[in-house]
Structure 1
Amino acid sequence: MSTAPRSHCPINLSLEIFGDRWTLLVLRDIVFAGKRHYRDLLTCDEGISTNILADRLKTLLHHGLLTRSEDPGHKQKAIYSLSERAIDLVPVLVQIGVWGRRHLGADEDLSLYADVLERGGPALWESFMDDLRETHLGAAARHHAPGHGPSFALAVEQATAAPRS
């Protein structure tokens, strides 16, 4: 993990972290599915193997996208938390999801968050990012007071209650 980058181009530097088929899926499961334990992350729909998951978690920890702490409820378990660097990826994850939904025939149910976040736009992304900061960083949420931006949870609830087109 300490090898020199091929170049200092920002896209290359990013791809050296995210340019495999699993790293963004691990982040997806932490960001959107709320998975925080190793065992939970093993249950992704795509069937990640234990050695690949362990390697991707190690990479994300090394690059400061995740932190790892002991689970106070179970001494043999660890809790993985997003860092601010990882939370800053939410708009990128949203756009990848929106693109996949539009152009690749993604499953409608699995596209729910992409659809809700696309419709809600940047204000909803920021609210969701604040929710993640509260959960993973212990930061006080800024958008939860009435009139201070949309709630991601409410937007998802409304989308699941309404017929989808």
Structure 2
Amino acid sequence: MLRIVQFFFLILVTVAVSAQETPLPDSEKYLEDQFYIGLTYNLLLNKPPSVTQQNLSYGLQTGFIKDIPLNAERNFAVGIGLGYAFNSYYSNILATETAEGITYSVIDEDFSYKRNKIETHLVEMPIEIRWRNSTATEHRFWRIYTGFKLGYIVGTRSKLVT
């Protein structure tokens, strides 16, 4: 019985030793993955003269961007991510659901209300081109990231408070 236990112990130790991975050098595992959080002020542009913006129209964004290095030095990369955005627009534009869909109209000046809000919920996909002069061990560096976000509206809501 003791020989059987020793045999299984020897096999387990051998399997554990053979399962060891060779560690990667620091330069091969260096990435600039990032979580992001953003706050914006939403401004309505090119609006008709009768449309007014009221209160604080704001937006919130959050997400994650994965760094994909394009060269051996890992200082030139592409960043691709996934995120969520919420935008609110306080104005005198009223969104009403009808049989034909959603119609937008300007609230009459004689109508008394406290606030009117249209909000949107988006799934975002940020895409960036990234350059930096950092290394895996040096964290004081310059970086230049430029890009854009693709967004898809997954939900909207209109709220009129009288």
TM-score of the pair, normalised by structure 1: 0.18
Higher relative contact order (CA 8 A, sep 6+): 2
Give the strand-richer structure, 1 or 2.
2
TM-score of the pair, normalised by structure 2: 0.18
Give the helix-richer structure, 1 or 2.
1
